[in-house]
Every structure is written in structure tokens, then in C-alpha cells.
Chains A and B, each alone.
Chain A
Amino acid sequence: MTAIRIGAGAGFSGDRIDPAVDLAQRGELDFLIFECLAERTIAQAQLNRLSDPEGGFDPHLEARMRAVLPVCHANGTRIISNMGAANPLAAARHIAKVAKDLGLRGLRIAAVTGDDVLAYCRSSLPDLDNGLNFTEIAASAISANAYIGAGPIVEALDKGADVVLTGRAADPALFLAPLIYSFGWRMDDWDRLGKGTLAGHLLECAGQISGGYFADPGFNDVPDLANLGFPIGVIDAEGGIEITKLPRTGGAIRLATVKQQILYEILDPARYLQPDVIADFSNVAVEQIGPDHVRVSGATGHPRTGKVKATISYHDGYIGEGQISYAGPGAVARAELARSVIRQRLEPLGLRESRVDLIGLDALHGPLSSAAADPNEVRLRAIGRSDCKDAAGMVGQEVEALYTNGPAGGGGAWKSVRATLSLCSALLDECVVDPDVTFFEAETSCV
């Protein structure tokens, strides 16, 4: 096999579905990958699983699979996704049912498990990156999931999976796995693993490399964002990478969009730590070889650290929030008055932390924004955290009370209070993660 074609069907759980269908139909893909699992997503999924033992997978899993499974099955395109979230087994069982509904008998769905390390953390009590030890959050811990590498996904493909559903896997590993499988790369071929990791890193955010999250009118213009095309990676056995997209789709694949994605969420470009390899992007070069067609070369790799990162979530009190808008002449002065009133009213609540920002003035960049001219409208946003739900709820109530007690002309008040999850991470020895692959078939009764 000289090169394989991998489509990126999603960059996050809530991503558009129609560009993935277009890729499945016209992309001549060998693999279609859906990266849908953010750090915070798996904590919420774990809560869902606690309330429903067959729940806890991605809420859009069925819609995505119904949209692409028939065409992928017809074209021989295999699907890999982390939409298993906190419950890959239930996700695979569910998709077996969906496939049966769709008449896709014989479709083989693999669930990759083993990322759940909560029980291990409860017994080993690791130190956490937030300065605490696991002991201090054990009573409120919800989930602990280690980042699994490409190995078990390769195993699933080797055994004939048409669909592979994982929980917490390293995002680039979803893309690295089909390369290892297709080209027979060794798991200590560090350079190729580094190149494959770069391919995965470029594709994992889907539209973010094809002109999404890039447009800045007059500086970076991008055509037809409403019909943004998702990327295709064409990767050869040596790890050569070309990124392109389908004709007649919106967006653009340029040197600039590719460069932004190379460095997206990267710390030291020479040491991108992954469960399978330390990828080195410090000498990567890009070349435009056609319209919406960029070649990327120069990634290398170094032996992996032997440690894997685990993300841990825990209950951490309540957040209360309230918002109200002021507009017209003197809007900022009235909002500033409201801010001082709210600060005074929140003071006796003993909140763990709170802040009051003026959206339109200083909510995003703080004092950096202060040089700009006064806007015609601003929105006060008060937010506070407390271990006591009632105290958190008072934040929104105090904002609402500005209607009859605050400055003139406040409008559109809104409030909320919600339980909050905090996240932290721990580094674990890779040997504590023991992944497993379980198969389900569409004709099997899956009650």
C-alpha cells in the first residue's frame, strides 16, 4: 500500500455532521476518524453512566453513526472514534443495534476499554498536578481516565473491526493507529511514530486546519465558512503527509492554516508527549503543492517516557451566575455602579471566589480593553463559587434584584446555579493501564 486516506469527521463532540457525510461519500477514504472527547467531556459522561449503566457514551454517537455507517460500509471505510467516552462497551452494543436497524449485518464493532483507572488511583493514591494528593479528593472523585495509545486500536483493526470505539485515548493515537496497522510500523520506530503523531495532531481538530477558527476579515479571509470542508490526510508508508479537502467545499488549506494547527495546544514543540512516542515538531516544514493541498514534512520522534497522563475529575462545589445588560448613554457608568453594588452584596456570602465582569468592556481581556471607546451596551456578569448551593444561588439572585434595587435601565437579567466538576491530572506508570478489546456484531442479539 503506497498511501492511505484518512478523513477527520469531527473535531469535538458538538461538531457539524454534514461535512463528515460529505467526506464519507466523496473522500475515497480508508478511514474516517471522529475525535469527540474533550477533557471535561468524559467527567460528564461518567456522571451519566452513574445514573444509567448503559449510558455514558457520546450523546451524538447514534446520530453520527446513522449518518455515515451505510456509506462507509458500502465504500469499505473503517471508522475510529473516542465516542465511547465513559462507556465504550455500551457504545459498541448500541451501535451494533443501530447497524442491525440499518441492515448492516455482519458489521464488526470493537470497544477498547482499560482507560478507567479510578480504582487504581483509589488504591495507589497518586500525587496530582494541582498540588494535592488523591487522598484529598478521594471522597469527591468522579472519574480517572488514562490516555491510551494506539496499540489496542491497532489490535482491533487487525482483528477486523469495521468500527472502533474507545474511551480516553490520546487524540493523535486515533489517527496513528490506522497508520501503524496499514504500514506495519513497529512500536519502537520512533521517527515514523512521530510523523504519524503529527498527521494525527494536524487532523484531530477537523475544520481547524481547513480554514475554521482562522478567519479575521481583511487579514485572514476564508471563503464560504458556512460550508467548511473537513480535511483529508494522505499519508504514505514513510510518514509523508499531505493535507487536502474535497472540491466544492468551503474553507481553505494554506500554509498559514496548517502552521497554526501544528502548534495548536503544543508546549515544547520538540517534546510533544504521547503515550506511544515523544513527537518532535521542531523542524517541521510546510509546502503548498496545489490549491487547498499542503505537504508537511520533518517530524521525528524519540522513545516514549513510559508514563501516561490520567485526567481525574471530582465534585467541587457550586457555581452561581447572574447577568444583566445596560445600554445607551451612560451604559458603562451604570454598569460600573451595578458592579460595585454586586460586590458589596456578595461580600457577606463568604464565597470561595467570585468575579464581576462587564461583557463588552473587560470580561475577556481585563484592563487591556480599557483604552477603547465606551461601548453603547455592556452586560454585567457576576459569578461565584461556593461549597454551599444556596450561597452560590445568591449570586444570580443579587443580579436579578438589580431590577428594582440597582441602577436605571438594567434589562435581560438571567441567572443560573450549577454543580461543578474540577479536573486535575496525574502521571502513572504505563504498565498500570491494561487495555482490552471486545467485539460486537450487528447480527448478534444485543439486549
Chain B
Amino acid sequence: MRLRDIAHCRSGDKGNTLNIAVIARDPEDYDLLCRDVTPERVAEFLRDKVKGRVTRYEVPTLGALNFVLEEALSGGVVGSLTLDTHGKSMSSALLGLPIGDTLDRDGG
């Protein structure tokens, strides 16, 4: 199972910092999100793009986690040489994160 199977995401940018909101489709899956989508795993999964700290904020009333990824945009919208200067497509990248059974089987 991948994150896309139980959650949807949207990313946004502030300078060189990116946020990715990860939202459970079914609020009952929020605990699974909290268990498997840790800041450490997100930092490891996106290590080629994110050079700074990864912080996770929990918003249980929305069944959502908000990840703040520092130094993630190669300098931000205007300065960056990357094709996706806003990091808009990073939300879709994170949806490929293995979770649940897949994670347990692969040993993380």
C-alpha cells in the first residue's frame, strides 16, 4: 500500500520552504498516517529534494498532518533553476510513500 491509497496531498511554498498537507480520506486512517508517515520517513523519502529540516504538525480535527520541509525549493520560486520552481509536484511524489503492509513487509 502506498500513501495515495488512503490519503490526498497538496503542497504550497513560502520562500525556500515547502509544506505538504497529508489528509486521510477516511478519518479512521489518521492513526495509520501518524504511525507510518513520520518526519524521519518523509525526510528520507524526499532526501534528493529536501536539504533542510522536516517538521510534522498534527491536525487531528481534519485527520491531517502538515509537513514543513525547509531548504526544499533550491532557492524558491524566483531563484530556482528547477522546472517546478514552486515544488507543486512534490505532493504527488510523497503519495508514492510505502505505508501499512508494504512498509511492514519492506521493513521500512
Which residues of chain A have a CB within 8 Å of any CB of chain B?
38-40, 43, 129, 213-214, 216, 219-220, 256, 259-270, 281-286, 298, 313, 316, 319, 353-355, 357, 359, 363-368, 381, 383-385, 420-425
Contact = CB atoms under 8 A, between A and B. Distances in A.
A267 B81 contact: no
A265 B13 contact: yes
Given A263-B19, A364-B93, 16 more contacts: A213-B10, A214-B10, A219-B4, A263-B64, A266-B21, A266-B66, A268-B57, A353-B81, A363-B84, A365-B49, A365-B90, A366-B49, A368-B93, A385-B81, A420-B79, A423-B77
Nearest to B23: A259
Which of B25, B46, B61, B93: most chain A CB closer than 10 A?
Answer: B61
A384 B12 contact: no
B10 A421 contact: no
The 9 closest A-B pairs by CB, nearest first: A265-B12, A263-B21, A260-B10, A366-B48, A363-B83, A364-B89, A423-B78, A365-B93, A422-B79
A422 B12 contact: no
Nearest to A264: B12
Contacts of B75: 422
Nearest to A265: B12
Given A355-B81, A366-B49, A266 B62 contact: no
Determine the main DSSP class of A at the interface with B.
Answer: mixed
19 contacts: A259-B21, A259-B62, A262-B21, A263-B62, A265-B13, A267-B68, A268-B57, A269-B57, A282-B59, A284-B59, A285-B62, A313-B78, A355-B82, A357-B82, A357-B83, A363-B84, A365-B93, A384-B81, A421-B78
Interface of B: 4, 8, 10, 12-15, 17, 19, 21, 23, 25, 45-46, 48-49, 57, 59, 61-64, 66, 68, 75-79, 81-84, 89-90, 93, 96
Nearest to B96: A368
A364 B84 contact: yes
A264 B83 contact: no
A268 B64 CA distance: 13
Nearest to A316: B79
B55 to A, nearest CB: 8
A213 to B, nearest CB: 7
Nearest to A258: B62
A298 B61 contact: yes
- Determine the main DSSP class of B at the interface with A: mixed
Nearest to A216: B8
A256 B23 contact: yes
Contacts of A263: 10, 19, 21, 23, 59, 62, 64, 66
B79 A285 contact: no
A38 B78 CA distance: 11
A207 B74 CA distance: 28
Contacts of B77: 38-40, 423
Contact of B81 (A270, A316, A383): A383
Nearest to A383: B81
A28 B69 CA distance: 41
Nearest to A311: B15
Contacts of A357: 82-83
A220 B9 CA distance: 11
B34 to A, nearest CB: 15
A357 B75 CA distance: 17
Contacts of A267: 14, 17, 19, 66, 68
Nearest to A271: B57
Contacts of A38: 77
A423 B46 CA distance: 25
B81 A354 contact: yes
Contacts of B46: 368
A219 B8 contact: yes
Nearest to B49: A366
Contacts of B61: 282-285, 298
Residue in A129, A263, A298 whose Cβ sees the most chain B Cβ within 10 Å: A263
Contacts of A269: 57, 59, 66
B83 A359 contact: yes
A92 B45 CA distance: 49
A365 B89 contact: yes
B68 A260 contact: no
A437 B55 CA distance: 41
A4 to B, nearest CB: 25
A145 B106 CA distance: 50
B9 to A, nearest CB: 8
Contact of B21 (A260, A316, A354, A381): A260
Nearest to A297: B61
Given A363-B83, A381-B83, A422-B79, A220 B62 contact: no
B5 to A, nearest CB: 9
A264 B22 CA distance: 11
Contacts of B90: 365
A197 to B, nearest CB: 16
